Structure 1
Amino acid sequence: MLFIKRSKAIAFQSILKKASLMACLFCFYSNVAAQDILSIPQSKAHDLALNMQWTEARSLVKDNNAYSIYITSLCNTLELLINEDKRLVEPYELIFDKQLAYLDSQPVSAEVLFAQAELHLQLAFVYLKFEREFDGAFKLRKAYQLAARGRKKYPNFLPMLKSHGLLQILLGAVPEKYNWVLRMMNMEGSTQTGLAELQLLSNSNTFTNTEASIFLALIHGYVRQEPMIAKTYITQLIDENSSKDIISFVGATLALKNNNAEESLALLKTLTPDDLPAIDYLTGEALLYKGDYETAIKSFQQYIKHFKGNSFLKDAQFKTGICYQLQNNQTKAIEHYDLARAISHENTEADKYANRVLNSTDGINSKLTKIRFLTDGGYYDEARQAAQQISPSDIPSIKEQVEYYYRQGRLAHLSGKANAARLFYEQVIDMSGDPDTSEWYFAPNACLQLGYLKKQTDDTSAAKRYFTQAIAYKKHEYKNSIDAKAKAALSQLKTLK
């Protein structure tokens, strides 16, 4: 029995962790596109929530209407997910419980089932954020049951597609070895079904259509590695919505993820909230990529000063140290590396990577690091110039040599030089050794990228081989995200047959 309970928890933890970033962003970015369901106060409250004015939003929806409960819960969820203030967890959890108890006492309706499913799903993400995976797992199961019931009982109630579509995608991402757990619990998911439902909702005139479009952008950008599709959604959303802060924030994160620091900075500059430390962190990242180290340091330190949670704090101190190192200020670099080491919390992959580097004896190669960030920011000409300045004496260790070929592969790939990228990636894989013992992320990501390149040329057999090989690497710090991308790609290949 203990084994079964643990297997359930592991399976759900896998679902939740794969979706944590999208979930946080998705919960944050809800919008109202139509006034046919929401009242004027509810619509205004939603609008205030978009601008992080949660206190004002909650003051407009104090009644027990299902949508008012949903908006209040949304405000509480956003505040917890964004600010990570542990002091608010217990009081807001009590409010969640009271809201759910009231909804449970009401006659069944489409609106009530929608609110119930959304509240359970939001609470699942809150539990995940605060590392309560068991609680999150079973809240997720409850949300699934309610959403499935709502879809069956009210098939024409389109807002339910939001919860149901999201859950279909999350469950569809569960590793095959845990599918028996889902079957035992009468749960199943399909990424294709979820995408189709969100697309239908995105094209509708319901008040949840914008949420669906944002979520589709996040899926295409982060999971399916289709940046141009993601950009199309974001561009359309910015054009169609008068309240653009939330959408611009999502667009900035996607632009940064997809090697366009300039676009990210342009979108971040349009944002008006002055109490969202995440903006400082993203700005610091984009400026680091650009090579504006002094301003990047200020942004990272603003984030560290004002953020109330734990996520990315180690990474922000670590990258502050990198900025100083790239300015040849070794004294300040060491100071901030030491500050980063003193931060014990590391629940993001960026924090885990920082921890591994900081505790390694290899040190940080300034020249390779500069190439990395220039490439990540889309400054390809500058990255090539930096690469040309590297001599064999600059990369004496095997790890540095592997990283050098990896950086050249990424630069060639992103510059549209696929053949050169393939050669560099293959060199990385050959030099990295056995997947069971290799601890560097260079080879697994090289396999992932080779899979994408083979998929683009319709060589599905080779693509499958590389995606499977990417998953075989067991010890690197980016295993969760690389595995998730590889598994999503393998799932896509199945639909092409």
Structure 2
Amino acid sequence: MYKKGLPVCLFLAFVLLFPLKGFSNFDFNANCLKAYKNIFDLKLSVARQLIAAEKAVHPDNSIVPLLENYIDYFYLITTESKSEFDRLKDYKSDRLDKIEDDKDRNSPYYLYAQAEINLQWALLRGKFGEYFTAAREIKRANSFLADNSKKFPAFQLNQKGLGLINAFLGNLPDGMLKSTLSTFGVKGNLNTGISMLDKLAEQLPKTTYEPFYEEVVFYYAYVLSDIAHSPEAYSRTMKYTEKISDTSLLKSYLQAYVCIRNGHNDQAIEILAGRPSGAVYSSFPYLELLMGTAKLNGLDYSAGTYFNKFLQQNKGVNYIKDANLHLAWLSLLKGDTGAYSGFTSKVKSSGYTYMEKDKQALNEAAAPAPTPELLKARLLFDGGYLTKALDVLLLVKTDNMTAKNKTEFYYRKGRVNDELGKDDEALTDYQNAINSGKGLKYYFAANSALLMGKIYEKKHNSAKAKACYNTAISMKDHEYESSIELQAKQGLKRTGN
């Protein structure tokens, strides 16, 4: 690790002119750190050039295979390309072989680098349905990091991977990946993982491992938003990303994503509009989808421009169904039912269902069209425009509504009242949603039971909270079943069952 007191340019010149035989083969020198920083800014082409220069000067530096893997990891995250995934995954074993062949086994980076490569490919495989191989890679990564923690307890970077693995495994829904990992004897704990990542994000800037801060925050934000569904996801993500340079496109993504997920819609639009741009940055079409989503949440019909940009720029297989569903909604709000039918047909015929968003888009395209009023309320709620959403719902007449629409009406009204702090009204709405929708395949009734449980838990009424969580678990064959059941089981744990 370079010392902050020595300017990076002088340090790099010194190393290039006078390579030292005594240097470790795991040399995270100034050039490698510069490449690493550019990777997390999503300037992948610049990072590739720096790594090529490092290989020319220090061909035995075993940090290089790790950095090359980082580039592939973020390239695949930003492109979502299945064909590129299939091509690049063949490099994994060669990189691990180079690291394993290194004779410098007394470096903390020896096991750490192998763990990181396995963990990165496991996360990528999860995007494309290769769950069995992902499970084996998580097991290997966990084993490497556990061993490395025993050998090098002061090496703080071990906690990053262990925290992520604990959180990921501690809140994994039932399915092939969970059952395979259970067979391998690998388990985790969500709260332990969150605690490890939070502690690391807080302490790392004060240590010599400060250059790795952005990576820790990247994984921590992912855990808070997508794994834990934490109510603190927005506040913590915005707090920790504030320290990251504004030249980082990854920072813009993390902030915009957490804003959209947590009802800070106008802030998301501002962040995406002001994000860094230029040929130096890697293409990231998903940001166009995020902007379209934020615009539509505010009922801004210019959203269609961004969904179309995403579909034009996207070279991957994910979120195609989701984008077409949003275009269908936009058509419905404009009163163009013919265009709505056309886009729902595209949802059914194009794209894949690796991601939960695309699975749900397919379900919604196959269901009866939502009423424009309920759709408006849904979008406004997602954008955090709670009073506007409630105003729309208060004008809705439930007479002659289908069971599906009536259930959704009560659910949407319950969500708004819940967020506005009107607990009694929300509980009534949620109970009405359960009564009218418990036999339907839609998620409204089950999620209403889950959210009722959270309200009662907040009120310290454990008996009613448990009853509601058990009601949510008892409902079967509906959308989001695994996720809702998992959250309900977590609620039962918290309430002492």
Q: Output the TM-score relative to the length of structure 2.
A: 0.85
Q: Give the conservation status (yes or no) of the 8 Å contact 2:410–2:432.
A: yes
Q: Distance in 2 between matches of 1:405 and 1:269?
A: 35
Letter in 2 for 1:251: Q
Letter paired with 2:436: M
- Distance across 2 between alignment mates of 1:87 and 1:184: 30
Secondary structure (helix, strand or coil) at the match of 1:208 reads: helix
Q: Deviations over 1:132-186 (max 9, x none)?
A: 2222121111111111111122111111111111112222224699989756534
Q: CA RMSD in A?
A: 2.7
CA distance in 1 between counterparts of 2:422 and 2:4 reads 45
1:339-391: CA deviations, max 9, x gaps?
2222252222322222223223x332111111111111111222122113212
Q: What residue number does 2:338 align with?
A: 331
User: Which is helix-richer, 1 or 2?
Assistant: 1
- Relative contact order, CA 8 A, sep 6+: which one is greater? 1
CA offset digits 1:428-453 (Å, max 9, x no partner) = 1122234xxx3110011112211221
> Match of 1:161?
159
Work out whether residues 224 and 488 of structure 1, in 8 Å CA contact, stay in contact via their aligned partners in 2.
Answer: no
Aligned residue in 2 for 1:48: 38
The CA deviation string for residues 464-494 of structure 1, in whole angstroms up to 9 with x for no partner, is: 3323432333222222432343344444445
Which of 29, 38, 47 is residue 39 of structure 1 equivalent to?
A: 29
Are positions 1:426 and 2:431 aligned together? yes
2-side partners of 1:231 and 1:404: how far apart?
30
In 2, Cα distance between equivalents of 1:117 and 1:233:
25
The one of 269, 275, 279 equivalent to 2:273 is 269
2:197: which partner in 1? 198
Change in Cα spacing, 1:468 to 1:129, as seen in structure 2 (3 Å) is same
Q: 1:392 corresponds to which residue?
A: 398
Q: Is 1:357 aligned to residue 359 of structure 2?
A: no
CA 1:229/1:356 → structure 2, altered by over 3 Å: closer, same or farther? Answer: closer
Q: Identity over aligned residues, as a percent? A: 23
Q: Tell me the amino acid that sits aligned with residue 130 of structure 1.
A: F
Larger Rg over CA atoms: 2
Label 1:186 to 1:401 Cα distance change in 2 as closer, same or farther (>3 A): closer
Q: Is the 8 A contact 2:128 2:354 kept in 1?
A: no
Separation in 2, partners of 1:192, 1:358: 36
Choose from 280, 292, 315 the match for 1:284.
292
Contact 1:464 1:490 in 2 (8 A): yes
Matched, 1:370 2:376: yes
What corresponds to 2:119 in structure 1? 121
- Aligned counterpart, 2:17: none
Aligned counterparts of 1:33 and 1:195: Cα–Cα separation in 2: 30
Distance 1:236 1:289 in 2: 26
Q: 2:19 — aligned with what?
A: none
Aligned to 1:408: 413
- Counterpart-to-counterpart distance in 2, 1:177 and 1:309: 25
Matches of 1:193 and 1:144 in 2, distance apart? 14
Determine the structure 1 residue equivalent to 2:387: 381
1:469 aligned onto 2:471: yes
SS of 1:392's equivalent in the other structure is coil
How far apart are the structure 2 equivalents of 1:302 and 1:59? 29
Structure 2 vs 1, CA of residues 228 and 167 (structure 1 numbering), >3 Å: closer, same or farther?
A: closer
Report if the CA contact (8 A) 2:233-2:258 is conserved. no
Amino acid corresponding to residue 126 of structure 2 in structure 1? L
Go from structure 1 to structure 2 and tell me whether the alpha carbon gap of 1:110 and 1:135 turns closer, same or farther (over 3 Å shift): same
Q: 1:491 to 1:114 in 2, by over 3 A?
A: farther
Structure 2 residues without counterparts, runs of 5 or longer = 7-26
1:58 and 1:477 map into 2 onto residues whose CA distance is 43
Offset from partner CA, 1:209-255 (integer Å, 9 cap, x none): 33333433333334444334542342342245454431221121111
What SS does the aligned partner of 1:302 have?
A: helix
Corresponding position: 1:79 with 2:75: yes
Mapping 1:10-29, distance limit 5 Å: none
Amino acid at match of 2:82: K
Summarize deviations over 1:305-355 as a string: whole Å, max 9, x none. Answer: 111112111121121011011011223222222222222522223222222
For residues 287 and 235 of structure 1, what CA distance do their matches in structure 2 show? 24
In structure 1, C-alpha distance between the alignment counterparts of 2:3 and 2:483, rounded to whole Å: 32
Q: 1:181 to 1:221 in 2, by over 3 A?
A: closer
Deviates more, 1:225-234 or 1:395-404: 225-234
Amino acid at match of 1:245: L
Q: Which residue of 2 aligns with 1:317?
A: 324
Output the CA distance in 2 between the equivalents of 1:133 and 1:224: 20
User: 1:224·1:489 contact (CA, 8 Å) conserved in 2?
Assistant: no
| Structure 2 counterpart of 1:270, one-letter code | G
State the aligned residue count: 458
2:446 corresponds, among 438, 444, 447, to 444
Is the deviation greater in 115-124 or in 138-147?
A: 138-147
AA of the residue aligned to 2:334: Q
Q: CA deviation at 1:263?
A: 1.6
Match of 1:220 among 224, 233, 236: 224
What is the CA–CA distance in structure 1 between the aligned matches of 2:467 and 2:277, rounded to whole Å?
46
- Report Cα offsets for 1:95-137 as digits up to 9, x if no partner: 2211101111123231111110000011112222222222212
Distance 1:236 1:164 in 2: 19
Letter in 2 for 1:59: Q
Decide whether aligned partners of structure 1 residues 52 and 214 sit closer, same or farther in structure 2, where only a CA change above 3 A counts: closer
| Conservation of the 8 A alpha-carbon contact between 2:132 and 2:180 | no
Residues 89-104 of structure 1 mapped to structure 2, 5 A cutoff: 89-104=85-100
> Does the CA contact (< 8 Å) of 2:173 and 2:482 recur in 1?
no
User: What is the alpha-carbon distance in structure 1 between the residues aligned to residue 157 and residue 355 of structure 2?
Assistant: 31
Q: So what's the TM-score if we normalise by structure 1? A: 0.85
Q: Distance between the aligned counterparts of 1:181 and 1:331, measured in 2? A: 45
* Whole-Å separation in 2 of the counterparts to 1:218 and 1:459: 31
Give 3-state SS (helix, strand or coil) of 1:60's partner: helix
Task: Identify the match of residue 138 of structure 1 among 136, 139, 148.
Answer: 136
Aligned AA (1:255): C
Structure 1: gaps spanning 5 or more residues: 1-31
Contact 1:231–1:251 (CA under 8 A) maintained in structure 2: no
Alpha carbons 2:167, 2:193 under 8 Å: kept: yes
